[in-house]
């Protein structure tokens, strides 16, 4: 899976950075994932911290949650991470944030988190179970859950800080 993600990212980056003015503009803005059949329910999934601890997604209920799925090989993911950090700084007291590295090497994911200045909690979705259970099929994916753990919104592809702020205001009533 990580080889497929890396190859897709490399092709996307090449198409974007190639600079061939005669070529059509690239429309690649995300990486596609192939969900497994027989997915567990969202309340039953777990993710793994970078210290190898299993955490149930359901344990984060009690306040709204923004889950952002990323990979170190996903250019749009890397681009949007500083925007998520800025919004987290604005509203972190009202809503929780969780970044999950999908099918990524832990060292690469942690290096990306450090490089982009992200301070909200991050962990791993090693086998793509969480993203699949929450309905994601591309990277990046952002899912908003209400305090009861119900999905209230999903966005696929890169979003900027203003879009994230509007999504929080519209779907959760949280305005910075």
pLDDT at 122: 98
- How far apart are alpha carbons 8 and 24 in whole angstroms? 18
- List the single range of 12-16, 39-43, 54-58, 147-151 with lowest mean pLDDT: 12-16
Q: What is the CATH number of the domain that holds 41?
A: 3.40.30.10
- Do 139 and 157 contact (CB within 8 A), yes or no? no
Residue 102 φ/ψ, nearest 5 degrees: -95, 120
Q: Which residue has the tokens 């198409």?
A: 15
Q: How many domains does the chain have?
A: 1
Beta strands 96-102 and 122-125, pairing class: parallel
The structure's pTM equals: 0.79
Among the listed residues 121, 111, 50, 47, the one whose alpha carbon sits nearest the alpha carbon of residue 84: 121
- How far apart are alpha carbons 114 and 72 in whole angstroms? 11
Q: Using DSSP, state whether 153 is helix, strand or coil.
A: strand
- In the predicted structure, residue 49 carries a pLDDT above the cut 70: yes
Containing structural domain, residue 139: 2-172
- Do 159 and 167 contact (CB within 8 A), yes or no? yes
Tell me the pLDDT tens digit for each residue of 13-44. Answer: 433 334 444 433 333 344 454 444 565 677 78
Residue 135 φ/ψ, nearest 5 degrees: 90, 10
């Amino acid at each position: 899976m990580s080889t497929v993600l890396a190859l897709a990212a490399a092709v996307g980056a090449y198409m974007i950075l190639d600079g061939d003015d005669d070529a059509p503009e690239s429309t690649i803005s995300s990486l596609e994932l192939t969900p497994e059949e027989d997915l567990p329910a969202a309340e039953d999934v777990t993710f793994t911290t970078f210290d190898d601890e299993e955490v149930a997604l359901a344990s984060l209920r009690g306040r709204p949650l923004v889950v952002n799925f990323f990979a170190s090989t996903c250019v749009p993911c890397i681009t949007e991470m500083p925007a998520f950090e800025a919004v987290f700084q604005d509203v972190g007291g009202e809503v929780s944030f969780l970044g999950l590295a999908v099918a990524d090497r832990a060292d690469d994911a942690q290096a990306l988190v450090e490089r982009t200045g992200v301070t909200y909690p991050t962990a791993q979705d090693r086998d793509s179970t969480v993203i699949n259970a929450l309905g994601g099929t591309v990277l990046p994916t952002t899912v908003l859950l209400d305090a009861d753990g119900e999905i209230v919104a999903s966005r696929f592809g890169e979003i900027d800080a203003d879009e994230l702020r509007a999504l929080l205001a519209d779907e959760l009533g949280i305005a910075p």
